[in-house]
Amino acid sequence: MPDPSHAIARGHIGETQLKAARAVGVTDTEIAEVAGNLALNILTNCFNVLADTDAERPVVTPHTHA
């Protein structure tokens, strides 16, 4: 079964995928948690773009070989 978070992120999750996830033990609470985490990540990314936030890791400058 494909990762349900990909389907949720793209808005293409249907009852078939939900039933398949539930059949392997995924609870409705876990499905809701995935949707909430995806929404929070999208919102965070939007704010980071607007604020022009630097990456947490240092910028690496490639070496040029002479």
pLDDT along the chain (66 residues), means of 10: 69 85 92 90 90 78 79
Per-residue confidence (pLDDT) for residue 2, from 0 to 100: 55
- Assessment of whether the complete model's pTM goes beyond 0.85: no
Residues 6+ apart with CB under 8 A from 38: 5, 8, 9
Place of tokens 């494909």: 2
Q: Which two tokens stand for residue 56?
A: 């947490």
CB 5 within 8 A of CB 38: yes
